[in-house]
Chain A
């Protein structure tokens, strides 16, 4: 019998695992995908090798790349872009770690209160989460991003618009700033050379500006795993979890099992209450089935897999809320072409952003060529100049919105990958019940159960969500023009389901939420959720990972104090950073 079983080693699960292992609990961390324990041999800096949905090393599928990817039934023009394996979707994330907007929480009384999805606010105030933000920001750590050419170009645009500069972690109004990134700042030769012989640890430390955040960070060369620049959980919380005895006096190393696809959550009725008892998972390339019992189970398999597992396990769903309310920030993409070097393909993928509370936010994104071309080919609004599906939008960009194809795409690409700059529009999208994850009615069950269906139609968003997105797209185009862009394109993305939130949302009302205010499941005691799906809403726009990790830290405290007789620690102790040399040594 384990103390705690954590299902999923992505952005949130390892946080719970590391924190509870640090308290001495017997923690089992299960991951369906690959261990990714030797990036130098497994990963490259090539795009298709990394991202091919069928067999890329960052796909949704088993660790054996010759085996088929796992099915994601998507009944619309969309693309769910998750990653399995230790690190989960933090493997390809940009490390952007802003705090949520305060208007996404209960009790917010700001003048712009009505601009938020207050019907689905977090069931506690923003101040409740701040100590957990501070804790995670110290553990990862989160640091102010340095500036390269593309950041300079972005800042030029923001300055031209007269936007103020934000110099705090909390956002209080419209502003621009360097990102607060979970990326170690460059030291030594990092960021100062392309000569690989000079980019070995410890001569180089932190971000080397290689430009391959999305392909998995393994810089600087030969760095200990917990000192790799980007603080994806494979480099931060997972190393902490499996070395807990080295950095915590009371710690007990967590057990990590990969290639472990959980197919069933077990429960029983005790004293009139349904209580979780353990899980069953398949391993050894699906040849073996293993049952593990646990006093507490934490689901952290992500916004798609967690509700799928819940439904597939036949767990209670009295209000039909499991899987509903999925938010994705209704992302959009605005691209400017320049007649100067923007450095778009160099340096951390995104190191600057602008905040527009009440609407969402904008960040610049630098991409290598295939991703850049993909990003301009992916639209819900047809093909520019050919058809627009009734969505052709006009604004501060040139012409109508829509995807670039044919000669127009090639003209933009041939202008030079480093003579463009792209801005990601991250919308404060509303929680809507019809945006959901459920079991596919189309695909037959396989050895894991019914595949997940993700229903999120870009043409069926709330009027408020569409209005906020259009507002941000106009601001993005203005920033690019202020920075000197010669031509600006709005792509009007179809749902690129990359930021996923709130499909198992916490809330105050059982009728429209799955989890209570502690992230414990209603209807199944001792069962918690600690991934993005637990978020109550889309945070008002900011990128979700940091908030998920802060919430997961809070959840770990709840588990420890409620079910293991311990005391909370975040307000009384100092965190151990994941870069601690004791972890390096233990690894």
Chain B
């Protein structure tokens, strides 16, 4: 589980030595809403700036290094976001459930490793179509960023240069990766929607993910938006990407929302969190089995039950 940490860190990094073209304001706002701009605060100083003029041509490309640094950070952001989803669907006594003010005394989705389960399942099951995802996460996001929502001062203070570098790295990762992991796309989608519907999520301290900072009813509002006639993200993008792609994006979002709301049940109540796949057996009983009193006392499912009561009205066959 990712520990919550404040987003309002002071900025210790110098601005890049060469000034690139300024990043579009809307794009920077998108990065903030997606939870990505917060990552800029943790960019190592050596990766924060553009290479000095006259640097050795043989030196490693700093942008490539930044991309390499960014990928696991995006995974961490996705994990944070999916932890918020798991707590929403099957709450427990964890910090994510606490933050949404919907807590249960017994183990929930976070304790049963549902966030990682969701990410793994989505990444392997759903190769998202580049034709929709790349425009969504690159040029099209200016529209999302320009939605009328103020940004917190902590993120406004992220230097334009650093935001630009991060954006370049994100764009490079998106455009170069064979398939963008679905989990990252979904996490960005949830975070953008969360921050658009609940701007206060950007100002709240705690998790990296704006979605994970929401209260329970606010999270429900995100899913209501995603399952609705025209999700906020689609409405913002439609003028830019056209009706065909907008309709496709809307359809895809509805499918993803279904998956986000349904799959945590498998994460919580199946054997996945305690299963040794190589040995094809459980290492201990899953929490979901204990909570539902399924196969009491067993770690190995039985081959039968003494359940036969006979035949209704004694009839063993019909004509």
A417-B294 in contact (CB<8A)? yes
Interface contacts (Cβ under 8 Å), in number, total: 250
Segment of B144-152, B167-175, B184-192, B266-274 engaged in the interface with chain A: B266-274
Q: Which residues of A contact B228 (CB under 8 A)?
A: 389
A125 interfacial by beta-carbon distance below 8 Å? no
B303-A219 in contact (CB<8A)? yes
Q: Which residues of A contact B127 (CB under 8 A)?
A: 68, 71, 443
Contact of A383 with B307 at beta-carbon distance under 8 Å, contacts A76-B251, A377-B265 already known: no
Contact of A46 with B294 at beta-carbon distance under 8 Å, contacts A52-B121, A146-B308, A406-B102 already known: no
Closest CB in chain A relative to B123 CB, distance in Å: 8
Q: Which residues of A contact B289 (CB under 8 A)?
A: 369
Complex CA distance for A49 and B272, rounded to whole angstroms: 8
A94 interfacial by beta-carbon distance below 8 Å? no
B216-A196 in contact (CB<8A)? no
Q: Which residues of A contact B224 (CB under 8 A)?
A: 382-383, 386-387, 389
Closest CB in chain B relative to A352 CB, distance in Å: 8
B311-A178 in contact (CB<8A)? yes
Complex CA distance for A401 and B318, rounded to whole angstroms: 37
Complex CA distance for A444 and B261, rounded to whole angstroms: 27
B317 interfacial by beta-carbon distance below 8 Å? yes
B35 interfacial by beta-carbon distance below 8 Å? no
A186 interfacial by beta-carbon distance below 8 Å? yes
With both beta carbons as reference points, the residue of chain A lying nearest to B102 in the complex is identified as A406
Contact of A47 with B254 at beta-carbon distance under 8 Å, contacts A191-B308, A210-B303 already known: no
Segment of A106-114, A269-277, A279-287, A341-349 engaged in the interface with chain B: A341-349
A377-B301 in contact (CB<8A)? no
A191-B311 in contact (CB<8A)? no
B255-A76 in contact (CB<8A)? yes
Closest CB in chain B relative to A176 CB, distance in Å: 9
B61 interfacial by beta-carbon distance below 8 Å? no
| Interface footprint category on A | 35 or more
A192 interfacial by beta-carbon distance below 8 Å? yes
B303-A208 in contact (CB<8A)? yes
Flag A141-152 by CB within 8 Å of B: 1 or 0 each.
Answer: 001101111011
Residue of B120, B313, B318 with most partner-chain A CB within 10 A: B318
Contact of A389 with B227 at beta-carbon distance under 8 Å, contacts A146-B308, A413-B292 already known: yes
A584 interfacial by beta-carbon distance below 8 Å? no
Complex CA distance for A69 and B125, rounded to whole angstroms: 6
Segment of A165-173, A294-302, A516-524 engaged in the interface with chain B: A165-173
Question: Binding site of A, secondary structure by majority: helix, strand, loop or mixed?
Answer: loop
B288 interfacial by beta-carbon distance below 8 Å? yes
Q: Which residues of A contact B280 (CB under 8 A)?
A: 44, 49
Complex CA distance for A45 and B302, rounded to whole angstroms: 9
A369-B307 in contact (CB<8A)? no
Which A172-216 residues have C-beta < 8 A from chain B?
Answer: 177-178, 180, 185-186, 189-194, 196, 199, 204, 208-212
B304-A210 in contact (CB<8A)? yes
Closest CB in chain A relative to B276 CB, distance in Å: 11
With both beta carbons as reference points, the residue of chain B lying nearest to A185 in the complex is identified as B316
B5 interfacial by beta-carbon distance below 8 Å? no
B264-A377 in contact (CB<8A)? yes
A46-B316 in contact (CB<8A)? no
Q: Which residues of B contact A166 (CB under 8 A)?
A: 318
Cβ 8 A contact of A144, one of B102, B125, B311: B311
Q: Which residues of A contact B313 (CB under 8 A)?
A: 165
B306-A193 in contact (CB<8A)? yes
Cβ 8 A contact of A199, one of B248, B272, B303: B303
Complex CA distance for A194 and B294, rounded to whole angstroms: 14
Closest CB in chain B relative to A231 CB, distance in Å: 16
B223-A151 in contact (CB<8A)? no
B302-A370 in contact (CB<8A)? no
B288-A191 in contact (CB<8A)? no
Q: Which residues of B contact A185 (CB under 8 A)?
A: 316
Contact of A75 with B255 at beta-carbon distance under 8 Å, contacts A46-B271, A151-B312 already known: yes
Q: Which residues of A contact B270 (CB under 8 A)?
A: 46-48, 369-370
Closest CB in chain A relative to B85 CB, distance in Å: 11
Cβ 8 A contact of B305, one of A177, A210, A494: A210
A93 interfacial by beta-carbon distance below 8 Å? no
Complex CA distance for A417 and B291, rounded to whole angstroms: 9
Residue of A68, A178, A219, A413 with most partner-chain B CB within 10 A: A413
A368 interfacial by beta-carbon distance below 8 Å? yes
B318-A54 in contact (CB<8A)? no
Residues of A within 8 A of B (CB): 44-49, 51-55, 68-69, 71, 74-79, 143-144, 146-149, 151-152, 155, 165-169, 177-178, 180, 185-186, 189-194, 196, 199, 204, 208-212, 219-221, 343, 345-347, 352, 368-370, 372-374, 376-378, 382-383, 386-387, 389, 403, 405-407, 409-410, 413-414, 416-418, 441-444, 494
Given contacts A75-B255, A383-B223, A442-B248, 13 further A-B contacts (CB under 8 A): A46-B270, A55-B124, A77-B255, A79-B258, A220-B304, A343-B307, A370-B268, A372-B292, A389-B228, A410-B91, A413-B269, A413-B288, A414-B292
Residues of B within 8 A of A (CB): 88-91, 102, 104, 106, 108, 120-121, 124-125, 127, 129, 131-132, 216-217, 220-221, 223-224, 227-228, 248, 251-252, 254-255, 257-258, 261-266, 268-272, 275, 277, 280, 282, 288-289, 291-295, 301-313, 315-319
Q: Can you report 12 A-B residue pairs in the complex whose CB atoms are below 8 A from each other?
A: A78-B255, A79-B258, A148-B305, A148-B309, A196-B304, A208-B304, A210-B303, A369-B294, A370-B268, A374-B265, A407-B104, A409-B89
